[in-house]
Structure 1
Amino acid sequence: MTTRSWVPVPEHSDFPVQNLPYGIFSRAGEPGEPPRAGVAIGAYVLDLAGLGEAGGLPYAADFAAPTLNPFMARGRDAWREVRARLTELLTDEAHRAAVEPHLVPRDTVTLHLPFEVADYVDFYASEHHASNLGRVFRPNQPPLMPNWKHLPVGYHGRAGTVVVSGTPVVRPCGQRKAPDAEAPGFGPSVRLDIEAEVGFVVGTPSELGRPVATADFADHVFGVVLVNDWSARDIQAWEYVPLGPFLGKSFATSVSPWVVPLDALAEARVAPPAQDPEPLPYLREDAPWGLDLAMEVECNGTVLSRPPFRTMYWTAAQMLAHMTVNGASLRTGDFYASGTVSGPAADERGSFLELGWNGTEPVKLADGSTRAYLADGDTVTLRATAPGADGVRIGFGEVSGTVVPAREAAGSAGQAEQQQ
């Protein structure tokens, strides 16, 4: 029997009662109202701070905070306790009179960054993405570097530029060097790209010096978000040798405003692709944490690709284990992303670099225009769904961003090249 809520949930809604993702909201048009926690249900947000103790909600004071961090820090037992209570409140008609006054129409709220980011790490976990980049940049060499199938490759990003969906993305400036140029120049990026990713939000911290095992993944990770890791490919290409991504990545990383609880994704768990060679013991999983997420990449209303997350070579649990194997500790609000999600087919690629094969095969939009990389004014939106309990599909909402012109170096030679 399918669990149903007394709250009306439109067909194909991202937010059935089997989901109940957490976010931080305030009422639009009410200046000064403090941001606070809510969960999405159908076309509504349930105001958890307003419901509070009157609804018998455990840890009610946590939900008046402007971030989810206080609640996330409580750990898995608390997360499950609150989820069970919310499910009861939203499915048992006996609670309707007490709960209904705290339902706020979702189209009347402003959504905020749902958690305070402590640290940010970005991985490179898709074999198809890594192989595509190898073929583009090293056509006469093996597509994967020698270490790639032995460890989840990653880099430490910039926590302060993680932004919520809807935040404009300013075209970054930086050094760029054309292959035939003797020296680098400076100006706005002319190869601004996206990376369609999935992110994992840490709730429970860990002790410095003590690695986190793959089996303990669900004890530490609170939930999952969608991520667009905007990338300036020309800046990145010049700077990344020998230490890797820096300014080409650190200007903006967009996340979706709803954090889908890990427990909502129990039905989405799948085995990852076969890993050969067998990973070292600390990376092995008895019950793998591959996830069957169906993603969608849209630019200016045109769906360009549908990357399948289930094809990711390294799982989120393996990423977490590798991130801490040297003794690095976790903090509440730590956030790590999967790296670009790409599948084996041409219409399953999660970046313009791959979709347009580094500018040699520009993609066509519905209005007839083409893109090798992003132009000012372009809006990119990522969505995803997953199988949920009772045979329903649950959604992640969306993460969207619009490119706005660079704020520096106006009038430079690079500025004129933006639309090329």
Structure 2
Amino acid sequence: MSRLDETHDPGRRSWIESANAPGTDFPVQNLPYGVFSHGGGPCRVGVAIGDMILDLTAAEGQGRLGTGQPVFDTGSLNRFMARPKEEWTSMRRRIAALLDAAAGTRDLPLVAQADAVLHLPAEIRGFTDFYASREHATNVGSMFRDPANALLPNWLHVPIGYNGRASTVVVSGTPITRPLGQLKGPEDAAPRVGPTAKLDFEVELGALVGTGNAMGAPMSAAEAWEAIFGYVLLNDWSARDIQVWEYQPLGPFLSKAFGTTISPWVVTRDALEPFRVPPPERAVPLLPYLREETPNNLDIVIEAELAPEGRAGRRILRTNARWLYYSAAQQLAHHTLSGCAMETGDLLGSGTISGEARESWGSLLELTWNGRDPLDVEGGRRAFLEDGDSVTLRGHCDGPYRIGFGTCAGTIRPAPAAPGPRD
């Protein structure tokens, strides 16, 4: 059921002129939440509007938001995300009214984005990475197994995932250290320890859980959709050569645990309501708990740019979250099927998002076909990432207005020395 309201009105404008500029990521119809600091002060909760930030912590303290008990006073979104979903919607309406061009009072606490430092928007309680793109799974299966049987028998029936590390989820702009791990080539007699030579990125969409479920109480797909607070861009950095040696029989471990970057602004589920689209056609019927009564995929264009150190960046791919075979709601519903309790601040990664065309493949593993076909970049070629390389993801929805996510960026720094016994 569509839940469009006055906050989605394409004709609505803000008294903050930068929010009305063509191509802005943050018009008054977006209002994504984030955490920021400025002037060396503490972390505060805010909303992006044009090139400014509305300081919700200050506005709440001034009694402008009508929250009663404070929800924006902890330097994190978790307290607000844990509130009932009806309060998410009513707060969005209240903030939109304050920023509307017709608003009578305009002396709100604002900070220029250029003067702010952005932080992780929430305390990430747990991180699960899925494998929800059929095209990506098919590419990987074709690369490492039989192309005629690229998908494993369970893939079309169950959202495949693994539990990652919340401790290494970082905000955009945080450097990523090249990881060490055990490496063993096909001709090697034994493994060795060393830095990955096949460092990769993964273009993903992240979903933040707002209201979780009690242990032992599974969610339906419809309930899971309602439990998601909002979405971020996500890059789950990957060490492909470490992964090849370690992933059998239990899956990724060190190859995916060293760093996951997310964008700082959380675009709410309410803001994305006009951009819901149907999923790809199902190859086989899904089990009842995964069936969706509403279109829960999202039409979000995501691009990746690669910039060698000291060089200009170049866009190397353009993909779309609408092609995911399993939506974030289905991922969350499956996560709870066994009775697993999900908590406020849990993060779900979609897994690499790829389309059918080569230019839409969401990782270097695919774009270079495991290094066989290097890409041209400024000043050279890349099979995988080198030290000093920067990867930047940008995402947006296109319609009568633009809903942007900002950037999700990280730069690779050299690996540390391998540890060994003390002298």
Could you tell me the TM-score, scaled by structure 1's length? 0.94
Secondary structure of 1:227's partner? strand
In structure 2, the partner of 1:231 is 238
Q: How many Å apart are 1:63 and its aligned residue?
A: 1.3
| Alpha-carbon distance in structure 1 between the residues aligned to 2:36 and 2:104 | 23
Give the aligned residue type for 1:254. Answer: T
- Structure 2 stretches of 5 or more lacking a match? 1-9, 308-312
Indicate whether 1:179 and 2:186 are aligned: yes
Secondary structure of 1:263's partner? coil
In structure 2, the partner of 1:247 is 254
Secondary structure of 1:81's partner? helix
- Of 266, 275, 279 in structure 2, the residue corresponding to residue 259 of structure 1 is 266
| Alpha-carbon distance in structure 1 between the residues aligned to 2:205 and 2:84 | 22
- Of 372, 376, 379 in structure 1, the residue corresponding to residue 390 of structure 2 is 379
Q: How many Å apart are 1:98 and its aligned residue?
A: 3.0
In structure 1, the partner of 2:352 is 340
- Of 14, 17, 29 in structure 2, the residue corresponding to residue 18 of structure 1 is 29
After TM superposition, the structure 1 = structure 2 runs for residues 25-64 of structure 1, keeping only pairs within 5 Å, are 25-27=36-38, 30-31=39-40, 33-54=41-62, 56-59=64-67, 61-64=70-73
Cα gap change, 1:309 to 1:359, in 2 (>3 Å): same
| Alpha-carbon distance in structure 2 between the residues aligned to 1:116 and 1:59 | 21
Q: 1:187-242 CA distances to partner (integer Å, 9 max, x unpaired)?
A: 00100000000000011121110001111123211000000000000111100000
Q: Does the CA contact (< 8 Å) of 1:200 and 1:225 recur in 2? A: yes
Q: How many Å apart are 1:75 and its aligned residue?
A: 2.2
In structure 2, the partner of 1:88 is 97
Q: Does the CA contact (< 8 Å) of 2:121 and 2:265 recur in 1? A: yes
In structure 2, the partner of 1:363 is 375
Q: How many Å apart are 1:139 and its aligned residue?
A: 3.7
Indicate whether 1:330 and 2:342 are aligned: yes
Secondary structure of 1:330's partner? coil
Q: Does the CA contact (< 8 Å) of 1:55 and 1:98 recur in 2? A: no
| Alpha-carbon distance in structure 1 between the residues aligned to 2:138 and 2:104 | 53
Q: Does the CA contact (< 8 Å) of 2:98 and 2:106 recur in 1? A: no
| Alpha-carbon distance in structure 2 between the residues aligned to 1:230 and 1:397 | 19
Return structure 1 stretches of 4+ with deviation > 4 angstroms: none
| Alpha-carbon distance in structure 2 between the residues aligned to 1:4 and 1:308 | 28
In structure 2, the partner of 1:120 is 127
Cα gap change, 1:341 to 1:140, in 2 (>3 Å): closer
In structure 1, the partner of 2:310 is none
- Structure 1 stretches of 5 or more lacking a match? 412-420
Q: Does the CA contact (< 8 Å) of 1:267 and 1:387 recur in 2? A: no
| Alpha-carbon distance in structure 2 between the residues aligned to 1:75 and 1:148 | 34
Q: Does the CA contact (< 8 Å) of 1:385 and 1:393 recur in 2? A: yes
Indicate whether 1:314 and 2:311 are aligned: no
Secondary structure of 1:224's partner? strand
Secondary structure of 1:107's partner? helix
Cα gap change, 1:331 to 1:140, in 2 (>3 Å): closer
Q: How many Å apart are 1:56 and its aligned residue?
A: 2.6
State how many pairs are aligned. 403
Q: Does the CA contact (< 8 Å) of 2:305 and 2:315 recur in 1? A: yes
Q: How many Å apart are 1:53 and its aligned residue?
A: 4.7
| Alpha-carbon distance in structure 1 between the residues aligned to 2:283 and 2:106 | 56
- Of 5, 11, 16 in structure 2, the residue corresponding to residue 7 of structure 1 is 16
In structure 1, the partner of 2:145 is 138
Q: Does the CA contact (< 8 Å) of 1:213 and 1:321 recur in 2? A: yes
Give the aligned residue type for 1:358. Answer: N
Q: How many Å apart are 1:311 and its aligned residue?
A: 1.0
Could you tell me the TM-score, scaled by structure 2's length? 0.93
| Alpha-carbon distance in structure 2 between the residues aligned to 1:51 and 1:4 | 21
- Of 287, 291, 312 in structure 2, the residue corresponding to residue 284 of structure 1 is 291
Q: Does the CA contact (< 8 Å) of 2:303 and 2:318 recur in 1? A: yes
Q: Does the CA contact (< 8 Å) of 1:22 and 1:40 recur in 2? A: yes
Indicate whether 1:270 and 2:282 are aligned: no
Q: Does the CA contact (< 8 Å) of 2:35 and 2:76 recur in 1? A: yes
Cα gap change, 1:394 to 1:147, in 2 (>3 Å): same
Q: Does the CA contact (< 8 Å) of 1:59 and 1:71 recur in 2? A: no
Q: Does the CA contact (< 8 Å) of 1:215 and 1:317 recur in 2? A: yes
In structure 2, the partner of 1:211 is 218
Secondary structure of 1:62's partner? coil
Secondary structure of 2:272's partner? helix
Q: Does the CA contact (< 8 Å) of 2:301 and 2:396 recur in 1? A: yes
In structure 2, the partner of 1:418 is none
Q: Does the CA contact (< 8 Å) of 1:163 and 1:254 recur in 2? A: yes
Indicate whether 1:188 and 2:195 are aligned: yes
- Of 145, 169, 172 in structure 2, the residue corresponding to residue 165 of structure 1 is 172
